[in-house]
């Protein structure tokens, strides 16, 4: 059984789990609850009517959060030749070819995203065992295997996120810092909702959205009425 601090239990008692809160009310409560000495991240936890053990019910996609993540995303690029200069000019924090592959094998993982050009894929296959469990292995689906390095680096720096359901059919997605204005957080949540709708798997049957909870890093989960976002238009 999970043990919670007295602080957390007190906050949980202020949330009526039998209600579906509006996004505004949920965000207001989470902001009021925050009393830690760092800026918390807002997280969306979404239960979908999907069973990922079936190939046509898996969900893995990317979304560009219009208001960003509030995080300085470190991007490393594995490429060769002219693409190394292109990556540096586009803002990559670390670039390299076989030398960077070797550094990673030796334990270097000081990056949030690793992008590779297609011609390097055979060489980086050896990184799969190390980077796969950390969610850092480049893949075409996540947009991290590409020849368009400029756009890929720019998008990830600006707030592009990859998301995928876990084995129980739930998404866990960070959508900004709790210090963001409420409308910015709503805009990010709306973008995520739209992306999930757009990428609905072909095997999805019946009710797609089961539940949505918003929480902060150290705060309780608050049940939210996702339908109230459908007509929201960000400014």
Q: What is the pLDDT along the chain (235 residues), one digit of tens a residue?
A: 455 556 555 565 556 677 899 999 999 999 988 888 889 999 999 999 999 999 999 998 999 999 999 988 999 999 999 999 999 999 999 999 999 999 999 999 999 999 999 999 999 999 999 999 998 999 998 899 999 999 999 999 988 988 999 999 999 999 999 999 999 999 999 999 999 999 999 999 889 999 999 999 888 889 999 888 766 655 4
Tokens for 74, please give them. Answer: 């470190």
Task: Determine contact, residues 87/77, Cβ cutoff 8 Å.
Answer: yes
Quick one: pLDDT at residue 235?
46
Is the CB of residue 100 less than 8 Å from the CB of residue 63? no
Query: Is 59 in contact with 171 (CB distance < 8 Å)?
Result: yes
Final residue of a structural domain among 128, 158, 188: 158
Considering the domain boundaries, does residue 144 fall inside one?
Answer: yes
β-strand partners of 213:
45, 223
Residue 7 lies inside a defined structural domain of this protein = no
Q: Are residues 123 and 172 in the same domain?
A: no
**Is residue 9 domain-resident?**
no
CA nearest 77: which of 4, 130, 148?
148
Separation CA 31–CA 222 (nearest Å):
12
171 and 61 inside one domain = yes
Amino acid 1: pLDDT: 47
Asked if 76 contacts 82 with a C-beta cutoff of 8 angstroms, the reply is no
Residues 144, 84 share a domain? yes
Picking from 225, 230, 219, the residue whose alpha carbon sits closest to that of residue 11 is: 219
Count Cβ atoms below 10 Å from residue 70 Cβ, excluding itself. 20
Range(s) of the domain holding residue 212: 15-69+160-229
Tell me the C-alpha distance between 46 and 169, whole Å: 9
**What is the C-alpha to C-alpha distance for residues 210 and 81, in angstroms, rounded to an integer?**
48
CATH code assigned at 196: 3.30.190.20
| Separation between Cα atoms, residue 140 and residue 147, nearest integer Å | 11
Report the alpha-carbon distance of residue 189 to residue 44 in Å, rounded: 8
> Concatenated DSSP letters for 81-128?
THHHHHHHHTT-SEEESHHHHHHHHTT----SEEEE-GGGHHHHGGGH
The DSSP H or E segment spanning 175 is strand 170-177
Residues 186 and 146 in one domain: no
d(CA 175, CA 105): 31
What pairing do the DSSP bridges indicate for beta strands 75-78 and 113-116?
Answer: parallel
pLDDT at 9: 58
């Amino acid at each position: 059984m999970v043990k919670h601090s007295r602080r957390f239990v007190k906050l949980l008692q202020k949330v009526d789990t039998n209600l579906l809160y509006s996004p505004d009310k949920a965000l207001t409560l989470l902001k009021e609850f925050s009393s830690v000495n760092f800026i918390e991240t807002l997280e969306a936890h979404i239960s979908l009517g999907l069973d990922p053990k079936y190939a046509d019910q898996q969900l893995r996609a990317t979304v560009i959060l219009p208001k960003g993540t509030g995080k300085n995303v470190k991007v490393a690029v594995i490429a060769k030749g002219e693409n190394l200069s292109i990556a540096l000019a586009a803002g990559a924090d670390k670039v390299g070819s076989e030398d960077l592959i070797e550094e990673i094998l030796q334990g270097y993982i000081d990056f949030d995203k690793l992008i590779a050009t297609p011609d390097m894929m055979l060489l980086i296959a050896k990184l799969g065992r190390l980077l796969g469990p950390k969610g850092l292995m480049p893949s075409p689906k996540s947009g991290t295997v590409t020849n368009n390095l400029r756009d890929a680096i720019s998008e990830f720096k600006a707030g592009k996120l990859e998301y995928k359901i876990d084995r129980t059919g739930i998404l866990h997605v960070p959508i900004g810092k709790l210090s963001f204005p409420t409308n910015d957080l709503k805009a990010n949540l709306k973008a995520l909702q739209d992306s999930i709708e757009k990428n609905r798997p072909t095997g999805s049957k019946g009710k797609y959205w089961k539940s949505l909870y918003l929480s902060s890093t150290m705060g309780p989960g608050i049940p939210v009425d996702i339908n109230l976002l459908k007509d929201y238009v960000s400014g």
